[in-house]
Amino acid sequence: MKLTEEQLKEIKDQQAQQNSTKRVVAPELEKILFEAIPILDHGFIRVVDYMGDDTSIVQAARVSYGKGTKKVSTDSGLIKYLMRHWHSTPFEMCEIKYHVKLPIFIARQWIRHRTANVNEYSARYSILDKEFYLPKSEHLAAQSQNNRQGRGDILKGEQAKKVLELLKNDAEQTYNNYETMLNEKYDGSVINEEGTGLARELARMNLTLNTYTQWYWKTDLLNLMNFLRLRADHHAQYEIRAYADAMLDTLKKWVPITFEAFMDYRVGGVEVSSKGKLVLNRIIKGEKITIEDSGLSKREWNELMISFNLNDKVI
């Protein structure tokens, strides 16, 4: 990731601000506020604002006037209870705003989470940066044979080199054409003094999906956790998972008690259906049970067995 001198100055100026407030603050999050955390090759994520902390959740749950209790253990117990029993409303009382720079194809996947306020960089008004996402060789993989949404074996040698060349050359060629149609260079200089450029809202259609865009993404804590539960999972696409992993770290700095409960009950926990519960009860009692008399499909059965490390029973 490479920030311009102007961007670095803006971040430095933001971090130099000294504002007094009567609101609660998260000391660990304050330390990285406005800082650009590098993601992928040219991307980043920044926390630019937030509201509330763990005590705000406790306050909302009790509808109290205070900021929680004097004992952290008491607040922790309540937050774990809320998380365990899916009492979600108190978590909606905290909000956070991120500034994100990401490839367009990841932005289109990300926007499927329709639970945030989003304001994206306008390519109708401004020229997009001349930056493209190019995967590292270890992330170049063939299509999975058994998962339509996943990756299979890693590409190697000349095959990997050829793919990277295609990605790079296509991105550069389409961007050059983009500048030609605009009659304007990335640095603002004019290509042809006598020419008239195509409207930016039309010229942008030529760009590849690995071109970087930027947006501000503001959401409440509940919906942030819903996003992270899916996107920080090992099944998620690597590129969006890279952003989610960085956001997990900001979550820990912001609301450490909630983070611990989230990792325990949401990320590390397992949901079991009523039929699955009956199967587990019979296994615990030492009864012999087969998939035929479990009432579960083969996929359900295998997922249940793997979740509880009963791999010898996987079919």
Classify residue 40: in a domain, yes or no. Answer: yes
* The pLDDT of residue 273: 95
**Rg value, the chain, Cα:** 24
On whether the CB atoms of residues 55 and 73 are closer than 8 A, the answer is no
* The pLDDT of residue 152: 74
On whether the CB atoms of residues 111 and 231 are closer than 8 A, the answer is no
Show the domain range for 31.
5-127+210-267
Total domain count, the chain = 3
What are the two backbone dihedrals, phi and then psi, of residue 69, each rounded to the nearest 5 degrees? -115, 170
State the Cα–Cα distance between residues 201 and 211, nearest whole angstrom. 15
On whether the CB atoms of residues 250 and 259 are closer than 8 A, the answer is no
The number of beta carbons lying within 10 Å of the beta carbon of residue 207 is 18
Q: What is the DSSP string of 226-273?
A: HHHHHHSSTTS-HHHHHHHHHHHHHHHHH-HHHHHHHIIIIIS-----
Are 55 and 122 contained in the same domain?
yes
Classify residue 184: in a domain, yes or no. Answer: yes
Indicate whether this model's pTM tops 0.85: yes
Classify residue 242: in a domain, yes or no. Answer: yes
Give the model confidence (pLDDT) of 131-161 as tens digits: 999 999 888 888 777 766 777 788 888 999 9
State the Cα–Cα distance between residues 10 and 28, nearest whole angstrom. 21
Are 81 and 119 contained in the same domain?
yes
Are 57 and 117 contained in the same domain?
yes
State the Cα–Cα distance between residues 88 and 160, nearest whole angstrom. 46
State the Cα–Cα distance between residues 230 and 207, nearest whole angstrom. 29
Are 13 and 94 contained in the same domain?
yes
Are 110 and 198 contained in the same domain?
no
Q: Is position 231 annotated as part of the catalytic site?
A: yes
Are 112 and 231 contained in the same domain?
yes
Classify residue 143: in a domain, yes or no. Answer: no
The token duo for 79 is 């937050």
Classify residue 142: in a domain, yes or no. Answer: no
Are 75 and 195 contained in the same domain?
no
Classify residue 149: in a domain, yes or no. Answer: no
SS (H, E, C) 260-294: HHHHHHHHCCCCCCHHHHHHHHHHHCCCCCCHHHC
Are 121 and 239 contained in the same domain?
yes
* Active-site choice (46, 231, 241, 266): 231
Are 194 and 216 contained in the same domain?
no
SS (H, E, C) 89-150: HHHHHCEEEEEEEEEHHHHHHHCCCCCCEEEECCCCCCCCCCCECCCCHHHCEEECCCCCCC
Give the model confidence (pLDDT) of 155-200 as tens digits: 888 999 999 999 999 999 999 999 999 998 888 888 888 878 999 9
Q: What is the DSSP string of 199-222?
A: PHHHHGGGS-TTBEEEEEEEEEHH
Are 28 and 122 contained in the same domain?
yes
Which position has the token pair 């009790």? Answer: 62
State the Cα–Cα distance between residues 53 and 67, nearest whole angstrom. 9
Which position has the token pair 């009860």? Answer: 281
Average pLDDT of the residues of the chain: 92
Classify residue 150: in a domain, yes or no. Answer: no
Are 185 and 297 contained in the same domain?
no
* The pLDDT of residue 69: 61
3 state SS of 305 = helix
The amino acid present at 205, given as its one-letter code, is M
Are 16 and 33 contained in the same domain?
yes
* The pLDDT of residue 47: 98
On whether the CB atoms of residues 104 and 212 are closer than 8 A, the answer is yes
What are the mean pLDDT values of the chain's consecutive 10-residue runs (315 residues total)? 82 88 94 96 97 94 71 88 95 97 97 95 91 92 73 84 95 95 88 86 95 97 97 94 98 98 94 95 94 94 94 90
